[in-house]
């Protein structure tokens, strides 16, 4: 097996840059859970402002943001409505069933995005026999949809349907800033009408750890209770918050490079027999490759690529997912596309 040279497995693979590490070592710190860490406090204020909320809380992970938000906004037996591939319902260990003790109902969206009409159809009539429809979760961008951006008019529709039915709204904004950079719509506008929203720093923004969940002050006060309860309350976390602040200053606009690299990667694979790649649908930093027409499964292809020094994950038996990020450049992406094309050509020749 060749050493790993190009890692397109996920944008979580970034390592802190020298500039980020320096910011971390210079961070002014204190006891975070007593609100004595000035760097964490500054980060929370900045993210609350960015997303258009009054308050925010720093958490160790995006998963904890999703889980705490669900726990605050749902009562046991309530129902969360999300796309059928939504991270909050599908790959967090059924946390919403365990922690919030909420049920989930899934909508079959298009590439991770559903419409107001689909939402309307999924809302249950009020009845003591049924779970109470309570929380609508939007994932901006839709990870397993292929980094799809929820258009702002679709979001506005979702918000209006939700409000009409007295539902609450949660934004899983793990990659919200990718959507902002790609679309030019600002984060506040995307979050307008939502009860809670969060962004992740350990994805495309390039920080090692951390996410910030925002909402109104009553929501954040209750979120703090859950943070404490779940062991997410920290101490000198300013070292981590400094990385996040550095990321907001230096790593947001450059997400456009990741988007251009993803597009380039998709373009290079377009037209190769047996690889289903729709370059037009690549809106941000994620490229889905449908390999259902090939004899080998996606996990088998992923393994063969890894043996050639390239890591691209399989998200199911027929789909590969490549994610561009800060630590892969244009040259890497071209090389990875070449290696994948070669692998496919070798197999076709057999």
What is the x/- site pattern for ligand PLP, positions 3-42, by CB under 6 A? ----------------------------------------
What is the x/- site pattern for ligand PLP, positions 105-144, by CB under 6 A? ----------------------------------x---x-
Does 195 engage in binding with ligand PLP (CB under 6 A)? no
Does 158 engage in binding with ligand PLP (CB under 6 A)? no
Strand pairing of 55-59 and 313-316?
unpaired
Please, which residue, 146 or 268, has the CB nearer to ligand PLP? 146
Least separation in angstroms between residue 148's CB and ligand PLP is 11
Least separation in angstroms between residue 182's CB and ligand PLP is 15
The one-character DSSP state at 70 is: H
Does 67 engage in binding with ligand PLP (CB under 6 A)? no
Angle CA 313–268–178, to nearest 5: 60
Token pair recorded at residue 114: 């559903």
Angle CA 6–112–290, to nearest 5: 50
Interface segment toward ligand PLP; rule CB under 6 A; list 28-36, 40-48, 56-64, 103-111: 56-64
**Non-local CB neighbours of 170 within 8 Å, separated by 6+ positions:** 66, 69, 70, 73, 80, 88, 135, 136, 137, 138, 194, 195, 196, 197
Does 251 engage in binding with ligand PLP (CB under 6 A)? no
Does 202 engage in binding with ligand PLP (CB under 6 A)? yes
Least separation in angstroms between residue 93's CB and ligand PLP is 11
C-alpha 81/C-alpha 180 separation (Å) is 24
C-alpha 136/C-alpha 118 separation (Å) is 12
Does 197 engage in binding with ligand PLP (CB under 6 A)? no
Residues in the chain: 350
CA dihedral 106, 111, 113, 118 (to 10 degrees): -60
Which residues form the interface with ligand PLP (CB under 6 A)? Answer: 61-63, 66, 87, 139, 143, 172, 174, 200, 202-203, 211
């Amino acid at each position: 097996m060749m050493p790993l040279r190009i890692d397109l497995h996920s944008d979580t693979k970034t390592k802190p840059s020298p500039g980020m590490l320096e910011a971390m070592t210079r961070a002014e710190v204190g006891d975070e859970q007593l609100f004595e860490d000035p760097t964490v406090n500054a980060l929370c204020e900045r993210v609350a402002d960015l997303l258009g909320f009054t308050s925010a809380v720093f958490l160790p992970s995006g998963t904890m943001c999703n889980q705490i938000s669900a726990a605050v906004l749902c009562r046991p037996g309530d129902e969360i409505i999300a796309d059928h591939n939504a991270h909050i319902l599908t790959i967090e260990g059924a946390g919403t069933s365990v922690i919030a003790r909420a049920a989930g109902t899934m909508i079959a969206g298009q590439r991770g995005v559903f419409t107001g009409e689909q939402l309307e159809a999924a809302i249950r009539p009020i009845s003591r026999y049924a779970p109470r429809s309570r929380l609508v979760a939007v994932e901006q961008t839709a990870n397993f949809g292929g980094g799809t951006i929820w258009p702002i008019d679709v979001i506005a529709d979702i918000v209006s349907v939700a409000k009409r039915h007295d539902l609450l709204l949660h934004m899983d904004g793990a990659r919200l800033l990718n959507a902002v950079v790609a679309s030019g719509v600002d984060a506040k506008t995307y979050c307008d009408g939502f009860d809670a929203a969060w962004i992740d720093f350990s994805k495309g923004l390039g920080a090692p750890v951390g996410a910030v969940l925002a909402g109104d002050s009553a929501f954040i006060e209750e979120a703090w209770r859950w943070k404490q309860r779940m062991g997410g309350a920290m101490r000198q976390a300013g070292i981590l918050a400094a990385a996040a602040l550095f990321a907001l200053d230096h790593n947001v606009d450059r997400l456009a490079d990741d988007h251009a690299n993803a597009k380039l990667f998709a373009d290079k694979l377009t037209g190769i027999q047996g690889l289903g790649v729709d370059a037009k649908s690549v809106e941000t930093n994620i490229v889905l490759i449908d390999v259902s027409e090939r004899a080998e499964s996606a996990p088998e292809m992923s393994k063969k690529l890894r043996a050639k020094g390239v890591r691209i994950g399989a998200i199911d038996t027929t789909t590969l997912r490549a994610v561009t990020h800060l630590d892969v450049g244009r040259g890497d992406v071209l090389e990875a596309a070449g290696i994948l094309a070669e692998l496919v050509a070798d197999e076709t020749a057999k």
